[in-house]
Amino acid sequence: MKKEIETCYCQSGLVQSECCGPFLQGSKFPGTAEQLMRSRYSAYVTQSISYLKKTLWPEQQSQFDRHEVENWANQAKWLGLEILRVEKGSLFDTSGIVEFKAHYKISGRHEIHHEVSRFQRGSDGKWYYVQNVTGQ
Ligand SMILES: [Zn+2]
């Protein structure tokens, strides 16, 4: 019997085990800002709230509102992710910008979360989500 191959939640076209899967499981860490962005979207889809906190810039983790994030992740039906622009954030960079649109449905309405995000590599070498810099 053929095994069903599941493509990743982030719509990269890759299978989960070669995309966000290992990041969410903690067996691998994203090498680029875009990989972290994609895995954070997948964390919303799979309601991996701890992952969303863990990948937030360490100094901001104390302000993380678990309840609010959980509510949003639960209530939204996630429809897809579009990466619009990536600036730096490669394997060799220490910071990066990713512009994206996340499509979701909430209370029967199709909504789009359009954000320009800033990512930064920590002193531990891992990528973190720093903040929404849309309009800055
Ligand atoms: Zn993915």
- For the chain, domains (ranges, CATH) are 16-132 (3.10.450.50)
Q: What's the rounded mean pLDDT across residues 9-38? A: 97
Q: Using pLDDT thresholds of 50, 70 and 90, give the confidence band for residue 2.
A: low
Separation of CA 35 and ligand 1 centre (Å): 7
Q: What is the value of pTM for the model shown?
A: 0.94
Cα of 48 vs centre of ligand 1, distance in Å, is 14
* Phi and psi angles of residue 107, each rounded to the nearest 5 degrees, phi first: 50, 40
Q: How far is the CA of 87 from the centre of ligand 1 (A)?
A: 19
Read off the pLDDT of residues 76-108 as tens digits, 9 standing for 90 and up. Answer: 999 999 999 999 999 999 999 999 999 999 999
Judged by DSSP in three states, 8 sits in coil
pLDDT at position 4 is 61
pLDDT of residue 1: 52
Q: How far is the CA of 96 from the centre of ligand 1 (A)?
A: 18
Q: What are the structure tokens assigned to 50, written together? A: 């701890």
Q: How far is the CA of 63 from the centre of ligand 1 (A)?
A: 26
Kindly provide the b/e burial profile for residues 52-70, where b requires at least 16 CB atoms within 10 angstroms of the residue's own CB.
beebbeeeeeeeeeeeebe
